[in-house]
Structure 1
C-alpha cells in the first residue's frame, strides 16, 4: 500500500506552515466552514499564469494546484498588502480565505433496500471498478476492507494522528497507531468505505460493490475537518489516478472556488463524482458543496420506511436519495457501528456507480442510468431527485419493488423464483478408450432468479442412465466440466440444470 509520497503530478506540497491548524475552532455541524487562520488564503490563477504570480507574494505556501485549462491555485499565508496587490492582478481569478469542510454525520443498513444484494446475486459486484473515498481515511487492516484496498494518499495536515482521542467525528477514535498516513483516525471514512465496497468474505458487513477497489484519500483530520486546499488537493490526486473511476465525497461545506476548480478538473478527467447533500434539514434549497455543483451527483438521505431523513438537506440539486439512517458499516479496528447522515447515503450511490462501471457502462452514462433505475418513493423532487437508488433496476435485473419485507408475498431478491434456468453452453466431445466410451462435457448455465441448484450430465442408452455426474451450483450463473463413461454402448448425452424451486431445463445430444 502506497503512502503520501506517491506521485502528485498536479499537486506539489511546499513548506508546511508552523502551527497550521493550531487553535482552530471547528464545528461538528455540516455546511459550515471557517478559516483556519486569518492570513491563510487561496489565490486562483489563470491557466496560463505562472505559480510565481502568487508564490512571490506569499509568506508561506501550502499547496500549488494545477487544474489544467480551468486554471491554477496557490494556497498559503499572505499579508493584507499582498492580497490587495493580487486582487488587482489580471492573472488572478479569485482570492478566498482557506475555509474547512467537515464530515457529514448523524448515523446506516440499506444494501437490501437498494437491491444491491440482488445485483450481487446476479454476479454484478463492481469488479474492476475503483472508488476514491475522499474522507478521514480507511482502516488498512479491517477484516472486510483490507482485501479491497488499493493505493492511498493524505493531505499533510490531515495525516493520521494516533494521539487524537475522543471520537467518533469529534476528536478522533483513539486508535493505538497509524498504520498508514491515510489510516482512519476518526471512523467516518471507514464507515463510508464499508457501505460502498466491504468485501463479500463472510466477515462483518456486505458493501454495495464488494469486488470494487477502494482508495483512501484522507483530506479530513481526526476531528472530521479539512481545509479547502487539502480537499481540492485530494480531489486532484484522485482525478490524476487513471485507475480511479468514482470520487465518493461524504463531506461538505460552503462554496469554495478552489474546490470547484478541483471538481471541474475531475470532471474533465471523466471521473464520476458523488457527494452527500448535507445535514442541514429540515430545510429547503440547502444542498451544500461540493454536492451542489453540476458535475456532482448529489445524494439525500432516506430511512428504512423510505421517508426523508429529518436531517437531510434538500434542493433542486438532489439527484438521488439513498438509505442514511441507522446504517451498519465498518469502523476501525475490525469493528462495526450504526451511523446516520447523508454521509451514509452517499457511498450507497458510489458503490452503485462502481457496479455499473464493473458491468461495462461508460462513466458518462452512470448518472442517468442510476436515475432511470431509481424507485419513486413519493417524496418531492427536491427531496428524492429521480427517486431512491435501486441498483438492480439500473442494471435491468428483476428485484424487489421495495414494498415486500416478509419474504413470502413478493420477490425480494431472496425468495425462490418461478423461472426455469437456462443452458447457455452444452459442448460434447465423445471419445473411446479401450473398452470405455467417454463423453467430455463443457457446460454453462444461468438463472435470472439467482437460485441455481444442480447441474447433471447423464450418459444414456435409450431411457437407461449408464453413468452420470452432478455438480452443486448457486447464484445466477455457473460453468464447469463433466466426464461420464461406460463399457456399454451409449446413444446420447443429456444435460439437466435445476433451481432451488425444482424448475429444470434439459438438452440432449447424440453420442
Structure 2
C-alpha cells in the first residue's frame, strides 16, 4: 500500500509527469539511424568469415545455433551489395532502432486481480523476469531486494550525461551505480509493475517475489539498436531467465531480432511485449510483439475501454491496464505513465506467478488467455480479453457468495444442459505453428448461457492453447483461433450455463 509520503510525492510530480510521458511517445522506424551500420545474417555453418572480412568495423557477432549466425558492424555500400548476392547470406538489414513504448505519464494490480493472487501466496517466488529496457534503478526502496544479475550493452550503458537524441533526454540521475542502472525511468517503471516487493513501501507488483534482471539495451534517450536488443534477448535466454518483458518495439520487422526471439523460444523463455502505441489504428501491432513466439499485449483503461493510443491487430493475445499506471521510477520515487509499455509488465508478472505455481512455461500463454475477462472489445483489440491473474490460478474471490437455495417452489425442477449446435474446425500448419479455427454456435433452453471455451489438446490431454468467450441469453455463436508449436491431437469445445451445467464435444485435429 502507498505510504502518505509516497502519495505526496506523486502529487508533487504531477506537472513533470506530462513531460516524461511525451518524451517517448509513439514508435520509431527501425531503419532511421546509422546508415552505414548493418546486421548480416548467415547460415549456421558458412558465410561468417566472408561477413567479417567485408566489414569495415565489427560491432558484435551472434551464434543462434541451428537458426544461423550474424555479424553487425559498419559496411560499405559495395560490401552490402556483394553480401546480398552471396548464397550463404540469409539477410542484410540496417542496424536501426527500437525504442521504449510509452505515451503519457496502477489501479491495474487490483483490476487484474493480482492482489488476490498475492493474498493467496502466489507471488512469483523463484522465477526470474528479465526487463529488457532502459535498465532498473539499482537502489530503489521497493525493487532493490528483488534485483538479480543485470546486463548492459556497451552503447546502452548508464550515463549521467545524456546527450538527448531523437526521442528526448534521460532522467539526469547523479550517479550510475551499475552499468545497467536506469538513466531514463522507463525500465524502472516496467520493473515495478512486474515485481515491486510487497514490503509496505511504495507500490505492489504483480509478482512481488520474482527476481528482476535489468537487461539494458535502450540508451538514456529511450532508443536502442537492433543488434543491442538481439544481444539482450540472447544474453537473458543464456542465463536461463523464465520470462522476458519487452516494452519496446518498432513498426519495422527485423531479422536479427527475430533470430534472437526464436533462439529464446527454443530455450523455453516466455516472452511478453507491448503491442505498440500507434492507435487509433487497425492491424498495426509492432515488433517484436507481432512475432508468433511472443505474447502481444494491448492497453485498456480503468473502465476496461481500449486506450486510444493502443495498437491493435490479429496478433494481440491479451489486454492489460496501460493508462495512468502508477509505478516506480529512480530514485525511490513514483509516477504515472501511459502506454502499452505499462500493459506488458502486468502480463509478464502474471506469467512469472503461473510458472512459480507450477504451470509449464509452454502452457502459460494458453492459461492466461483462457482466464482472461471478456470486456466487450473486438478480438483484435483485447485478444482473449483483459488479464485476470487470480482466475488463471483458479483463485476465487472470498467476497463471492456461495450458491444459495431458491425458495420459489422450483427447487425440484432440473435445469437443462446447454447444447452445442455447431462445431466446425479448420486446421492449417504455418512453419512451426499448428493452427485451428473453431466455428461454434450454442443454445440453452433455460436462456442462461455463460461461457464458451475452445481448447487445443495434446495426445495426453494437455491444453496447448485455449480461448473463451462470455455469452448470455438462449443462443450465441462465434469463432475462436487457436495455435501451438506442439503437436495437437484434438480440439475440445465446452459450453457452460449459469447453473454450472456444461456440455463438451471434441473433434480430431
Q: Does TM, scored on the shorter chain, surpass 0.5?
A: yes
1:241 matched residue in structure 2 = 239
2:79 matched residue in structure 1 = 82
Shift of 1:48: 1.1
1:39 matched to 2:33? The reply is no
**1:369-421 deviations in whole A, cap 9, x for unaligned?**
00011000000000000000000000001139xxxxxxxxx64xxxxx779xx
Corresponding residue to 2:160 among 142, 159, 162: 162
Shift of 1:293: 0.2
Separation in structure 2 between the aligned mates of residue 170 and residue 214 of structure 1, nearest angstrom:
26
Q: Is the 8 A contact 1:51 1:64 kept in 2?
A: no
1:67 matched to 2:64? The reply is yes
1:389 matched residue in structure 2 = 387
**1:291-324 deviations in whole A, cap 9, x for unaligned?**
0000000000000000000000000000000000
Against the structure 1 CA distance between its residues 228 and 76, is the aligned structure 2 distance closer, same or farther, given a 3 Å change threshold?
same
Shift of 1:195: 0.1
Separation in structure 1 between the aligned mates of residue 258 and residue 349 of structure 2, nearest angstrom:
23
Against the structure 1 CA distance between its residues 169 and 339, is the aligned structure 2 distance closer, same or farther, given a 3 Å change threshold?
farther
CA RMSD in angstroms comes to 1.8
Separation in structure 1 between the aligned mates of residue 106 and residue 198 of structure 2, nearest angstrom:
18
Separation in structure 2 between the aligned mates of residue 208 and residue 38 of structure 1, nearest angstrom:
41
Against the structure 1 CA distance between its residues 79 and 169, is the aligned structure 2 distance closer, same or farther, given a 3 Å change threshold?
closer
1:128 matched to 2:119? The reply is no
**1:146-188 deviations in whole A, cap 9, x for unaligned?**
0000011011111101111779972100100100000000000
**1:315-371 deviations in whole A, cap 9, x for unaligned?**
000000000000000000000000000000000000000000010111101000000
1:139 matched residue in structure 2 = 137
Q: Secondary structure at the match of 2:312?
A: coil
Structure 2: 5+ residue stretches without partners:
1-22, 404-509
Q: Secondary structure at the match of 1:329?
A: strand
Q: Is the 8 A contact 1:42 1:97 kept in 2?
A: yes
Q: Is the 8 A contact 1:136 1:220 kept in 2?
A: yes
1:55 matched residue in structure 2 = 52
1:327 matched to 2:314? The reply is no
Shift of 1:287: 0.1
Corresponding residue to 2:311 among 310, 313, 324: 313
2:373 matched residue in structure 1 = 375
Q: Is the 8 A contact 1:103 1:169 kept in 2?
A: no
Shift of 1:109: 3.1
1:187 matched residue in structure 2 = 185
1:93 matched residue in structure 2 = 90
Separation in structure 1 between the aligned mates of residue 183 and residue 390 of structure 2, nearest angstrom:
34
Against the structure 1 CA distance between its residues 34 and 109, is the aligned structure 2 distance closer, same or farther, given a 3 Å change threshold?
farther
Q: Is the 8 A contact 1:196 1:208 kept in 2?
A: yes
Separation in structure 2 between the aligned mates of residue 178 and residue 101 of structure 1, nearest angstrom:
23
Q: Is the 8 A contact 1:166 1:173 kept in 2?
A: no
Instruction: Pick the structure with more helix per residue.
Output: 2
Q: Is the 8 A contact 2:24 2:102 kept in 1?
A: no
**1:86-128 deviations in whole A, cap 9, x for unaligned?**
1111110000111100100014430000000000111100001
2:249 matched residue in structure 1 = 252
1:363 matched to 2:353? The reply is no
Separation in structure 1 between the aligned mates of residue 47 and residue 238 of structure 2, nearest angstrom:
21
Separation in structure 1 between the aligned mates of residue 379 and residue 164 of structure 2, nearest angstrom:
39
2:26 matched residue in structure 1 = 29
Q: Secondary structure at the match of 1:386?
A: coil
Q: Is the 8 A contact 1:168 1:188 kept in 2?
A: no
Shift of 1:32: 2.7
Separation in structure 2 between the aligned mates of residue 201 and residue 418 of structure 1, nearest angstrom:
33
Against the structure 1 CA distance between its residues 90 and 325, is the aligned structure 2 distance closer, same or farther, given a 3 Å change threshold?
same
**1:62-83 deviations in whole A, cap 9, x for unaligned?**
1101111111110000011111
Separation in structure 2 between the aligned mates of residue 399 and residue 259 of structure 1, nearest angstrom:
41
Corresponding residue to 1:278 among 273, 276, 279: 276
* TM value normalised by structure 1: 0.72
Q: Is the 8 A contact 1:31 1:288 kept in 2?
A: no
Q: Is the 8 A contact 2:24 2:100 kept in 1?
A: no
Against the structure 1 CA distance between its residues 180 and 168, is the aligned structure 2 distance closer, same or farther, given a 3 Å change threshold?
farther
Shift of 1:211: 0.2
Against the structure 1 CA distance between its residues 330 and 165, is the aligned structure 2 distance closer, same or farther, given a 3 Å change threshold?
farther
Q: After the TM superposition, which segments of 4 or more aligned residues of structure 1 sit over 4 Å from their partners?
A: 165-169
Separation in structure 2 between the aligned mates of residue 27 and residue 186 of structure 1, nearest angstrom:
10
Q: Is the 8 A contact 2:324 2:336 kept in 1?
A: yes
Corresponding residue to 2:227 among 222, 226, 229: 229
* TM value normalised by structure 2: 0.72
Separation in structure 2 between the aligned mates of residue 289 and residue 166 of structure 1, nearest angstrom:
24
